[in-house]
Amino acid sequence: GEKNSMFGKTMSPEAKEKQLATLMKNHGVTNAFFLSKRECMSKQQRKLCAHLLSSVQSNVNHPEMDVLLKVDDRKIWPDILFREKKLIVEFNGDYWHCNPQKYAADFFHKNKQKTAQEIWEEDAKRQQVLEKNGYKVIVVWEKEFRKNNEAIVKNIIQVLSER
């Protein structure tokens, strides 16, 4: 509103570009609106993002986080997107995605109001839609990342170099 110092003002293209670069560098997002969404990322997911941001080669564009993809008739928010390489890294939290190594198919997820089986089917359908549209999807489970994060980052970097 009127109490905001930027109320009624517009930014120059140079200032917008600088703001975007700062958001990407400091927070890994392309829009300040998505900063609130990043707070929903787990500590391990933030760690994976940090590893990838520091590990990608200069000839590969940095990964994007919290960007909206319109694929077919769906809106999809991939966890980590390498747009030019058409590579998506999905970080599946063990609880939120009901890691099959920890949860039975009939486990009822109270927050999502769905069974583990229903969650797995939704995740699989989402991955199929992305793959049908030319994206390679790497799924990283929280449990596996905790065990061996270096190998997982190395694998993602290897896949990037092959695409």
Q: What are phi and psi of 65, to 5 degrees?
A: -120, 150
Rounded to whole angstroms, how far apart are CA atoms 91 and 140? 5
Residue 53 in tokens: 């941001």
**pLDDT by residue for the chain (163 residues), tens digit each?**
677 777 788 888 898 888 777 776 666 666 666 665 545 677 888 888 888 877 776 556 678 876 788 888 888 889 889 988 999 999 999 999 999 999 999 999 999 999 999 999 999 999 999 999 999 999 999 999 999 999 999 999 999 888 8
Q: How far is CA 116 from the centre of its chain?
A: 21
Q: What is the pTM for the complete model shown?
A: 0.73
